[in-house]
Amino acid sequence: MSSSDLSPTVLRPYGDTTGDGMVQLSFTLPMPHSKLAEGAATQLAVTMGIDPALVVHAKAMGPAHTFFVVYGRVNHLVDVSQVRIVERDYALLSPKEINLAVRKRLRRRLTVVGGCIGTDAHTVGIDAILNVKGFAGEKGLEYYRELRVVNLGAQVSVPQLVARAQAERADAVLVSQVVTQRDAHLFNTKEMSAAFREAYPAATRPLLIVGGPRFDEAMATDLGVDRVFSRGTTPGEVASYLVHSLVTARPVREESRGSNV
């Protein structure tokens, strides 16, 4: 068997057998559960390119909505050679290596200020990155001796965040946005990055990092931030990125850090 058989670049989904193109999709329609509703779900799936489409599960969600799971075949192919992703362009370091790099090259602790902005109260994600309890078996940034973490928690306004970043002389600002209704995560992030650009000269602005489960990592430039992290991010990845950006690639000048004059 050749290596192209093992990792072909053009793929069909795998359901029951190789190349059968079978996928599963779930959604809710705003209509009571009935045969008509199941027909409507099938119609939607066929319109989406699933043919044949089979409703394998339908459940009333209250009197006026129905939840569906549809199983069926798509005829579309995936061309892996055309897929574009944001590759990690920095080395993953251990906590020991991170502490050593900060101590030796920065010669002071690196300060991180973080929180959830706007009305967002979903702190579990930012806590997973910042708090010592961490995530996925990795300890959070508080665990790193050479990192100083100021976690502002939920519902921090942009002016509060800027003021605190200045007061703490933050090297990096880490913002979490989980609620995406009406694109709140995008608007809030753009407002935040604009406020930091307004408050700081370019050379002394802290590194701006945003994270949350529904961000597209390719959107950093559009959002005006230095890096976007999405679902499944671990604290070690974030700590390694901080060292890469602030210590290895862009040493922070002690005298100018955090100043807005």
Sign of CA dihedral 240, 242, 246, 252: negative
Contact 222, 76 (CB under 8 A): no
User: Does 133 participate in catalysis according to the annotation?
Assistant: yes
Helix, strand, coil share (%) of the chain residues, nearest 5: 35, 25, 40
Residue 200 as a binder of ligand B12 (CB under 6 A): the answer is: no
Cβ-based nearer residue to ligand B12, 74 or 242: 242
* Catalytic residue selected from 104, 133, 139, 190: 133
The minimum distance between CB 181 and ligand B12, in angstroms, equals 4
Helix residue ranges, H only, 35-113? 35-47, 95-101
Which residues, 80 to 119, sit near ligand B12 by CB under 6 A?
119
Applying CB under 6 A, which part among 55-63, 199-207, 232-240, 252-260 lies near ligand B12?
232-240
Give yes or no for residue 172 binding ligand B12 (CB under 6 A). Answer: no
4 contacts: CB under 8 Å, gap ≥ 6: none
Q: Determine the interface stretch with ligand B12 among 27-35, 61-69, 77-85, 169-177 (rule: CB under 6 A).
A: 169-177
Q: Any contact of residue 122 with ligand B12 (CB under 6 A)?
A: yes
Scan for tokens 């779900």, then name that residue.
41
Q: How far is the CB of 39 from ligand B12 (least distance, A)?
A: 26
Min. distance of Cβ 176 from ligand B12 in angstroms? 3
Q: Are strands 50-60 and 66-74 parallel, antiparallel or unpaired?
A: antiparallel
Q: Round to whole Å and give the CA distance between 30 and 65.
A: 4
Nearer to ligand B12 (CB atom), residue 211 or residue 236: 211
Q: Check the CA dihedral 218-222-223-224 and report its sign.
A: positive
Q: Does 152 bind ligand B12 (CB under 6 A)?
A: no
**For residues 223 and 125, is the Cβ–Cβ distance under 8 A?**
no
**Residues that bind ligand B12 in the complex, under the rule CB under 6 A:** 119-126, 128-129, 135, 174-176, 178-181, 209, 211-213, 229-233, 238
- Which residues have a catalytic role annotated? 133
